Amino acid sequence: RDSTHPHLSALSIIKSSSISTYLQSSAAIMLLIGTNSLRYDDAAQVLQDVAHTIEYIHTTYPHLHEKQQIAVVATFPCYNTSGIFKSIHSLLSNIQVYNEALHTLSNQLNFTFIDFHITDIYLSSDRMHLHPDYRYLIPNSITHYCNSIFQHHTSSRTHTRSQSAIQRRLIENCCCLSFNFACRRWLRR
């Protein structure tokens, strides 16, 4: 949610034709959203935006109906204060309230809450983004998520295709949307 750049909201990007086309055949979606919004908006407002986005995904992409097919990642710590959250304490408190409420919302709206366990020691000097030495944490976590979908998918269904073919297909079809960095590239590595 960005009142000065509404075209950059998660929902707006998901509704874009390029992402919408991709989601029609995706096995899953992972959303890495919230950090920028939580610097400027109250956790309750950001949570409401996330709920609206999840409801839109459920309605528009009914094939993404299982809990593990939609994931929202906990927001990382951020020490880059704003005019709204002037102290580090108030900003971190807003992020903590959001992450706790997001976990609760995940049960109510049937999506997976994922915590990559990013702590302040992994942040770069801007106190907001990952330090380059720790960027591997994100693709590793995304791959782990896609592999867990593969495990669930193969344990709950009988397939005529090999497990490696199914896993390749699922990882290719996991849609990871991040509005700070291009996750999809990492899935192809």
Q: What is the CA radius of gyration of the chain?
A: 17
In our burial notation (b when 16+ CB lie closer than 10 A, e otherwise), range 137-161 reads bbbebbeebbeebbeebeeeeeeee
**Does the pLDDT value for residue 176 go beyond 80?**
no
- pLDDT tens-digit map of 71-124: 999 999 999 999 999 999 999 999 999 999 999 999 999 999 999 999 999 999
In a 13 Å sphere around the CA of 119, the CA atoms on its Cβ side amount to: 1
pLDDT mean across residues, the chain: 82
pLDDT in tens, 120-154: 999 999 998 899 999 999 888 888 887 777 666 55
What number is the average pLDDT over the span 172-177?
53
Alpha carbon distance 168, 172 (integer Å): 6
- As a whole number of Å, the end-to-end CA separation of the chain is 30
The pLDDT assigned to 6 comes to 62
pLDDT at 157 over 90: no
Q: Collapsing DSSP states into helix, strand and coil, what is residue 11? A: helix
Q: How sure is the predictor about 178, in pLDDT bands with cuts at 50, 70 and 90?
A: very low
| Cβ–Cβ < 8 Å for 114, 71 | yes
pLDDT band at 182 (very low <50, low <70, confident <90, very high): very low
- On whether the 6-184 domain is CATH 2.60.120, my answer is no
Going by pLDDT thresholds of 50, 70 and 90, the confidence category of residue 19 is confident
pLDDT band at 164 (very low <50, low <70, confident <90, very high): low
Residues 6 or more apart whose CB falls under 8 angstroms from that of 86 comprise none
Sign, CA torsion 130/178/82/77: negative
Supply the DSSP symbol for 64. Answer: -
Domain ranges of the chain: 6-184
